[in-house]
Amino acid sequence: MGKLILQRLWQSALVLLAVSILSFLLIFLTGDPVAALVPLNARQEDYDNIRQQYGLDQPIPVQYVQFVIKAFQGNMGESFRYHTDALSLVLGRLPNTFLLAAVSLALSILISLPVGIMAARSKGRIFDVIASFFALLAISIPSFWLGVILIIVFAGTLRWLPASGSGSWQQIIMPAVTISAFSIGFLIRLIRRSVADTLQQQYVVTARSKGLAERVIAWRHVLRNSAIPIVTVLGLQFGALLGGSVVVETVFAWPGVGWLMIQSIEARDLPVIRAAVLILAIFIVLINLAVDIIYSWLDPRIKLQPGKGAGA
């Protein structure tokens, strides 16, 4: 287990290094970030002063080294737009993003687990066909399109739910449904396939021949043996929900890290963009690391090798 953790920590460090380089370089592809900090009639002297103030007059490799050193010190710079610490700004929005992801994951589990199990137990019958159809539909619908439709129907036409904002349980319903739709469809298909495969195993047939109750068989044999791929994917889905929050938060004006990133990209707020990308990347990498460890703990027969594992 210790070797596995060290191996995954090394791989995670490489991933974060790549993310830091990309997040540092991509911002320069959108144009000069100084242009967002000075008025249109600014003189060249004003441009030079801003570049010197934020260290943008240094060569790019030097800027990157300084960026990494400051990042390790918890200093991601000052927001160009809000004139406050960029890291504090991102961390202040992080609880809202985690809340949305957690509610979405809970919704995914509550819907997909019973539906997937029932679909597997009624394989080939009407419930299985209907469940498979809606699962495929949920996977196919773009999240931003679903969000707009929900706003039109439930906020505009029916006026049952608020269209944006946060602070009440009503305001999280539509964003959570939107961001969890893909996960629900994906998990229904996964659970159905995993449970259906387990039901065909010889030990399940033997348990039934011994007269064990279906409830006992379902808990002792089916669910426990189907849990490994399901638990693994649940962890990965939580990371995906964090990453997918960018679009959904923007559609519903949900004050999380995703919406902050979009606003910062529009304003070319370089420090906030870098801080948001790195913070989300760190949490997603940590979640994947935890999933790999849980995966090997659930099934000790699995010996994870480089490039293999729960997330491979």
Question: Tens of pLDDT along 78-113?
Answer: 888 888 999 999 999 999 999 999 999 999 999 999
- Within a domain: 50: no
- Within a domain: 223: yes
Tokens of 162: 């608020």
Q: Going by C-beta distance under 8 Å and a sequence separation of 6 or more, which residues neighbour residue 229?
A: 190, 194
For residue 305, the model assigns a pLDDT of: 47
Q: Which residue segment(s) compose the domain that 100 sits in?
A: 92-298
φ, ψ of residue 11 in degrees (nearest 5)? -65, -40
Structural domain total, the chain: 1
Rounded distance, CA 112 to CA 110, Å?
Answer: 6
Tokens of 9: 């920590």
CB of 241 closer than 8 Å to CB of 183: yes
- Within a domain: 168: yes
- Provide the 8-state DSSP code for 211: T
Rounded to two decimals, the pTM is: 0.82
For range 207-230, the mean pLDDT: 73
- Provide the 8-state DSSP code for 167: S
pLDDT tens per residue across span 38-68: 777 778 888 888 888 777 788 888 888 988 8
- Within a domain: 105: yes
- Within a domain: 221: yes
- Within a domain: 132: yes
Cβ burial of 169 (10 Å; 0-12, 13-18, 19+) is exposed
- Within a domain: 311: no
pLDDT tens per residue across span 150-196: 999 999 999 999 988 888 889 999 999 999 999 999 999 999 998 88
Higher pLDDT, 94 or 242: 94
- Within a domain: 116: yes
For range 137-150, the mean pLDDT: 93
3-class secondary structure, 31: coil
Q: Nearest CA to 81 among 281, 280, 283, 276?
A: 276
What DSSP assignment string belongs to 46-88?
A: HHHHHHHHTTTTS-HHHHHHHHHHHHHTT---B-TTT-SBHHH
CB of 258 closer than 8 Å to CB of 210: no
Tokens of 223: 């669910």
User: How does the average pLDDT of the chain come out, rounded?
Assistant: 84
Q: What is the CATH number of the domain that holds 172?
A: 1.10.3720.10
